[in-house]
Amino acid sequence: MSKVTVVSDRRLLGVAGLGWLFDAMDVGLLSFVIAALQKEWGLDAKQMAWIGSINSIGMAVGALIFGLLSDRIGRKQVFVITLLLFSVGSGLSALATTLTIFMIIRFLIGMGLGGELPVASTLVSESVPAKDRGRVVVLLESFWAGGWLIAALISYFVIPRYGWQTAMIISAIPAFYALYLRWSLPDSPRFQPQQAKQPVWEKIGTVWSAPYARSTIMLWVLWFCVVFSYYGMFLWLPSVMVLKGFTLIKSFQYVLIMTLAQLPGYFTAAWLIERAGRKFVLITYLLGTALSAYAFGEADSLSMLIASGIFLSFFNLGAWGALYAYTPEQYPTAVRGTGAGMAASFGRIGGILGPLLVGYLVAQKTAISTVFIIFCVAIIIGVLAVVLLGKETRQQELV
């Protein structure tokens, strides 16, 4: 790869990665804000669950709408629109005085979040050479860890002293960055305006046509299982720590420690994905996630809880990186945004059900260990989908 291409790749990774980081910062803050709102507004477990789920409902709608739109007006324009949507929404949520208002705003934020992630990964996938594509997309995903770390730091230092509203205002800063993106970010070199003329229903039909149906089924099952388990577990992590007897501040501190493990998870996945392949990384890291989830649910000591939480972060986020690299590679350019957006949208249904399930089971006094066994089983189903239906796409040229 030429020096010019390397610089271009790094610039693209940095620009798109910062957008990804802001996404993660908002989702991460939400997990801590839910725990804070429970204290401030006296929420019960079911109300806490609905906050996480309404965010995922918005993400499901956003992934579908903006995925389709990215094949019509281009990846760059949709990336900027979604970034502005969730950034401005985050700032407005600080003004919410009731749970209903907060949840309406969270739906809009979720639309921006859900639309931005698959579009950004598609943009990066189409802009780098095949031999580096998987590694670069996983590195793009690694910005998610940076966002979570910032969210954990803001939550630990800001929320207890200045309140959750201040934390949400801080998260609105990306709105200004979105304006810069409009002028500085190049669109995908593969996006052709003439392809946008194909009707939406034809694009959806292509995704489910014979050449791509197997991949679509595999992705939908995989996305559902991964999102279901991730949002069920990670949105509840601070609250689960509180349920296990730790104070709110201590729970923030321990989750911050667990979050640090996301970075080596991403970097090892980025190293392996071009050497061992997409399927190997997905299967290995998802199995590691399942074992870690089981251990976390069964943990009965602080050391076991933190150790299993560290491994949970390491394996789960490494798997996410591989998922975002793998998804756009299943479809041709004309329907890549549509296919990736539809898979992500279906997956977000899992993100709706996961937090709700935890909330309702906790309300029924179900043991935390039982809850995490359910997530363990879901992840194994995702592994089976990759093993039985997945195809290896390492270093294949996009069409």
- Give the per-residue pLDDT at 65: 95
- Give the per-residue pLDDT at 103: 95
- Give the per-residue pLDDT at 1: 41
| For residues 207-212, average pLDDT | 96
pLDDT tops 70 at residue 237: yes
- Give the per-residue pLDDT at 249: 63
Domains parsed from the chain with CATH numbers? 3-181+200-389 (1.20.1250.20)
Confidence of residue 44 (pLDDT cuts 50, 70, 90): confident
Per DSSP, the three-state class of 398 is coil
Total count of residues recorded for the chain: 399
- Give the per-residue pLDDT at 267: 93
Q: Give the distance, in angstroms, between the CA of residue 92 and the centroid of all CA atoms in the same chain.
A: 22
**Could you read off the pLDDT of 369-392 as tens digits, one per residue?**
899 999 999 999 999 999 999 999
Query: Cα angle vertex 115, ends 56, 165, to 5°?
Result: 60
Q: Which residues are CB-neighbours of 54 under 8 A, at least 6 positions away?
A: 103, 106, 107, 110
Q: Are 68 and 341 in contact (CB under 8 A)?
A: yes
Closest to 89 measured CA to CA, from 119, 45, 46, 54: 54
Choice between 104 and 191, residue whose per-residue pLDDT is larger: 104
Which of the given ranges, 18-27, 30-39, 65-74, 352-361, has the highest pLDDT on average?
65-74
Closest to 233 measured CA to CA, from 369, 388, 79, 38: 369
| For residues 285-313, average pLDDT | 91
Q: Which residues are CB-neighbours of 194 under 8 A, at least 6 positions away?
A: none
Q: Which residues are CB-neighbours of 174 under 8 A, at least 6 positions away?
A: 18, 19, 22, 25, 83, 86, 87
| For residues 252-270, average pLDDT | 85
- Give the per-residue pLDDT at 9: 66
Q: Within 10 Å of residue 108's Cβ, how many Cβ atoms?
A: 20
Q: Which residues are CB-neighbours of 97 under 8 A, at least 6 positions away?
A: none
- Give the per-residue pLDDT at 36: 86
Tell me the pTM.
Answer: 0.86
Query: Cα angle vertex 53, ends 49, 48, to 5°?
Result: 20
- Give the per-residue pLDDT at 196: 65
Confidence of residue 5 (pLDDT cuts 50, 70, 90): very low
**One-letter identity of residue 300:** D
> Percent of the chain beyond pLDDT 90?
45
Confidence of residue 13 (pLDDT cuts 50, 70, 90): confident
Per the prediction, the chain carries an average pLDDT of: 87
Q: Are 87 and 174 in contact (CB under 8 A)?
A: yes
